[in-house]
Amino acid sequence: MRDRVIRVVGILASLVGAMPAMAQPYALTESTRADDSARLAAETTLNGTLKVTRDGKQVPIRISAKNEHVFFERLLAVEKGLPRKSVRHYLTATSKANVDDERVERALAADHRLIVAQRTAESLLCYSPDGPLTRTERDVVSEHFETLHLTGLLPGKDVNVGDTWKIDAKIAQSVCLLDGVIAHTLTGKLKEVSANIVVIVVEGAAKGIENGAMAELTITAEVRFDLAKKRIVRVDWKQKDVRGQGSVSPAAEVETTTVLTRESLEETPAEVGPAVVARIPVDEPPATLVYLLHRDPRNRFEFLYSRDWHTVGQTDHHLVLRFLDRGDFVAQATLATWQNAGAGKHISPEEFEKLAVGGTGWKMEEVLERGEVPTDAGRWVYRITARGDLEGSKVIQSFYVVAAPNGEQMIVTFTMRPASATRMGTRDLAIVNAIEFPKK
């Protein structure tokens, strides 16, 4: 009897040993909460080609860059499991590029190291509570890997090795730094588990819009998730971009590689502590913090302007901006310094109109409006708005001259197609009235 029992147990044991092991599920989700803090470090390298138009021909320009960001991040608001708002203190925020053998360096100013990042509708808003950012500063803190939606790469449920899941379109838009997604095939897959680290592969393509231009992206990435900490600890993100020419950006073909490391912190760093959070607007920030600051390199003038305006050209004498409304080109603004007329003086309306009529390639057909514009700070502003032909295209142009009490003068020209005039609204006046002439 005893031998029979032993044989039966042996047979059962052999049958169990022959059965395939049951797949083990892994809970890949983060319990994200407000006040969670982390230290993040991102290094991005970029190589590729820009395609610019010169003398009517498209010319390729080699570009390479290296961006480095190290910052503390404290979450301030979480919505549906995803961070919606955070405060960051940047220890490092630099971009070093080589464009057509010309070195270009950008960095975050020391007095703007405190940055608030928040999702607003479909976009990411980054601003500093310590004052308006320049366009360069805004780009430096807005164009690295988007950490607010990092956890959206996880399935948010138990999965087995080999399982796949589709990345949500809003997450794809965010991590790909697009203004809008037309279509995407990004999926996550649990590749393997080793020493308590889960390796997730994210692959696919995305097609979308950025600054009004079409962009096609191909992504291959690995995300490492620590099972003990229940946190994403590293991301290796490789991306190939093919971008069409837009109204404010050239066509480009570039490849980028980003390595992001993430360390959860048990204690909140003082740089993003309670005293700092108390200075941050609870709801929407005031326009003075959201607007960008342009300061002339020679300190001749400065002004605040909305982020819908993009810099497309700058020389010692001219600054050219273009206004995009939801990606559509609406108008162009050209700002130029003019000769000092002497304290208390300015160009006469008659002289100014002669300048407005005589522009290169411009044939004025009808003056729609002329006269002084109410302003402040003891300045004098005069405007001429006219309809005409500019190099074969029918346009409306508004010419402004701004004169300060000390005789400093600027001429600002806004150009738009007649159909775009209503979309322009009073944005021209907003820029003109914001121009300031710093004291020498």
Predicted pLDDT at 440: 65
Instruction: Name every residue whose Cβ is closer than 8 Å to that of residue 57 and which is 6 or more positions away in sequence.
Output: none
Rounded CA Rg of the chain: 28
* Residues in the chain, total: 440
> Can you name the CATH fold of 26-277?
Lipovitellin-phosvitin complex; beta-sheet shell regions (2.30.230)
Residue 88 exposure: Cα atoms within 13 Å on the Cβ side: 27
β-sheet with 328-338: strand ranges across:
309-314, 318-325, 328-338, 409-416, 393-403, 380-390, 362-372
- State the Cα–Cα distance between residues 313 and 176, nearest whole angstrom: 26
Q: Which CATH class is domain 291-434?
A: alpha beta
Q: Per the structure block, which two tokens stand in for 322?
A: 């273009």
Query: Are 26-277 and 291-434 the same fold in CATH?
Result: no
Q: Per the structure block, which two tokens stand in for 208?
A: 């979308």
Instruction: Name every residue whose Cβ is closer than 8 Å to that of residue 250 and which is 6 or more positions away in sequence.
Output: 50, 51, 52, 53
Instruction: Name every residue whose Cβ is closer than 8 Å to that of residue 385 and which is 6 or more positions away in sequence.
Output: 367, 368, 369, 370, 396, 397, 398, 399
- Could you give the 3-state DSSP secondary structure of residue 72? strand
Backbone angles phi, psi at 388, to 5 degrees: -175, -165
Q: What is the pLDDT along the chain (440 residues), one digit of tens a residue?
A: 444 434 433 443 443 344 344 568 999 999 899 999 999 999 999 999 999 877 778 889 999 999 999 999 999 999 988 999 999 999 999 999 999 889 999 999 999 999 999 988 778 999 999 999 999 999 999 989 999 999 999 999 999 999 999 999 999 999 999 999 999 999 999 999 999 999 999 999 999 999 999 999 999 999 999 999 999 999 999 999 999 999 999 999 999 999 999 999 999 999 999 999 999 998 889 999 999 999 999 999 999 999 999 999 999 999 999 999 988 999 999 999 999 999 999 999 999 999 999 878 999 999 999 999 998 878 999 999 999 999 999 999 999 999 999 999 999 999 999 999 999 999 999 999 999 998 86
Predicted pLDDT at 439: 80
Cα separation values, 324 from 169, 179, 361, 376, 393, Å: 24, 12, 24, 28, 19
Rounded to two decimals, what is the model's pTM? 0.90
Domain ranges in the chain?
A: 26-277, 291-434
